[in-house]
Amino acid sequence: MPALAGAASPDNDLRKLRDALTASESRQETFASQLENLDGEIKALKRKLVTAGQKLTLLDQNLVDVEERLDHIQQVEEETLDDLSKRNADLAVTLSALINLSRQPEGTLMGNPSGLVDSLRASSLLQSILPKLKKEADQLSVQLDTLASLRKQYAAEKAEFSALREERIAEQDKLDQLFAEKSNAQAKIADARQTEQERLQKLTADVRDTEALMLRLEEDRARQRAAEQARLQREIAEKEKQALAAREAAEAEKSKEIAVAPSSISPKLASLGPAPRFMDAKGLLPFPVGGKIVTKFDESDQAGHKKGIVIETRPEAAVISPFDGQVAFAGPFRHYGLLLIIDHGDGYHTLLAGMGSIDGTVGQLLLAGEPVGQMKKSSKEKPKLYMELRNNGAPIDPVPWLMAANRKVSG
């Protein structure tokens, strides 16, 4: 009997192992289901973020346009007031002369030929001045009407500006709420992203310019792709080995349930449709921020020769991704301040700098129009966003890639 008890021990161990494996598989299935639900939740939030980001960018552009119109109205009003002041001075001199002439006593002309001649000259002068005075008066009336119209237009534009600003505040509140929801949804993968962010910062700590940075990032991405490809191949080989062993050990009916096809290893990748290609989006990209171009590509300014463009915008304006992509770099870099690099695939990258904050982490997938940051708060000068577009590391002019309706250039 003791021998029988001892013989039964391996079966008990095997049963416990099977139970543990079953429980582990159940937990993995639950975790996979939770991740799938989380993935769906994040996708839905990202679609809402894109809508909110596009609306905020449009509002920022409208506010920039209204501010420009207000500045123009104020300038015209000042010029009109200066002109009116000059006209008033000229009219005052003319009227003063006429008043002096009208005050001469009629008797002074009798027996005084010179006085009569002067009077005739004054009368002739008055006849020539009156039409000019009427013309001046008419022009003065028109300018006064223009001034009244300008002030009325200014009040209307100011009211529109206030309404747009209130609408933008409300939209920003919605966006902040969406960011909070997205942050909560991504909390489970935050640690992994933080580790990746720290790894990337160490990797790029000694890089001194964006060309070297782009090269370093591309080399790193190539290593990661190679490592991931090798990992997937090992996983596929292991799964095929397990499937083959299961088919050989089990009945034909049961083997169909156990067998794992290679295509089932990455269901998320399999479910993705064909992604749009950046090279097909020329002339279709939205502005990354509402505003106007103040420094063009290949143009020099106080900071030096530009390999991108500079867009002047509003304080705290929303910054969006111009196209689908993945965050390759996010954080402070040299004189750029906060720098965001988005990898769009096929060798194309967008570089954005000058923001007050970045809402993105390395490895994060982005949709076109998704908010990625916010400009700085109020300052003496209007905030400026620097945008570079690169193809295989070489800078190219971003303007032809932007939507024609958005290509607003100052001057």
Q: How far apart are the first and last CA of the chain?
A: 101
In this predicted structure, the answer to whether residue 200 has a pLDDT above a threshold of 80 is no
Query: Rounded distance, CA 164 to CA 168, Å?
Result: 6
215 Cβ neighbours under 8 A, 6+ residues apart: 393
- Residues 62-81 have pLDDT tens digits of 888 888 888 888 888 888 77
Q: What is the pLDDT of residue 261?
A: 37
Largest interatomic CA distance in the chain: 166
Structure tokens at 153: 């237009």
Query: Rounded distance, CA 67 to CA 122, Å?
Result: 53
CA-angle at 260, arms to 258 and 263, nearest 5° = 155
Query: Rounded distance, CA 37 to CA 149, Å?
Result: 59
Of 29-38, 102-111, 243-252, least confident by mean pLDDT is: 102-111
* Residue scoring higher pLDDT (352 or 184): 352
Q: What is the pLDDT of residue 10?
A: 53
- Residues 78-128 have pLDDT tens digits of 887 787 777 777 667 666 666 665 555 554 444 445 554 455 555 665 666
The residue type found at 7 is A
* Residue scoring higher pLDDT (167 or 231): 167
The residue type found at 379 is S
- Residues 311-337 have pLDDT tens digits of 999 898 999 999 999 998 999 988 888
Count of CB atoms within 10 A of residue 43's CB? 12
Residue 360 near residue 343 (C-beta atoms within 8 A):
no
Q: Where residue 267 falls among pLDDT bands split at 50, 70, 90?
A: very low
What average pLDDT does the chain have?
A: 72
Buried b (16+ CB within 10 A) or exposed e, 197-212: beebeeebeebeebee
In this predicted structure, the answer to whether residue 43 has a pLDDT above a threshold of 60 is yes
Q: What is the pLDDT of residue 309?
A: 95
What number is the average pLDDT over the span 371-390?
89
Tokens 């300038």 — which residue?
75
Report the percent of the chain where pLDDT is more than 90: 18
What number is the average pLDDT over the span 198-218?
66
Q: What is the pLDDT of residue 123?
A: 60
Residue 158, CB-side half-sphere exposure with 13 Å CA sphere: 9
Q: Where residue 259 falls among pLDDT bands split at 50, 70, 90?
A: very low
What number is the average pLDDT over the span 256-265?
37
Structure tokens at 167: 């609408």
- Residues 152-171 have pLDDT tens digits of 877 887 788 778 878 887 88
What number is the average pLDDT over the span 226-246?
65
Q: What is the pLDDT of residue 193?
A: 58
Structure tokens at 66: 């209204």
* Length, in residues, of the chain: 411
Structure tokens at 282: 């020329």
Query: Rounded distance, CA 2 to CA 288, Å?
Result: 79
All domains of the chain in start order, with CATH? 11-185 (1.10.287.620), 280-406 (2.70.70.10)
In this predicted structure, the answer to whether residue 348 has a pLDDT above a threshold of 90 is yes
Query: Rounded distance, CA 329 to CA 309, Å?
Result: 20
Residue 354 near residue 337 (C-beta atoms within 8 A):
yes
Q: Where residue 262 falls among pLDDT bands split at 50, 70, 90?
A: very low
* Residue scoring higher pLDDT (217 or 373): 373
Q: Is the pTM of this model over 0.85?
A: no
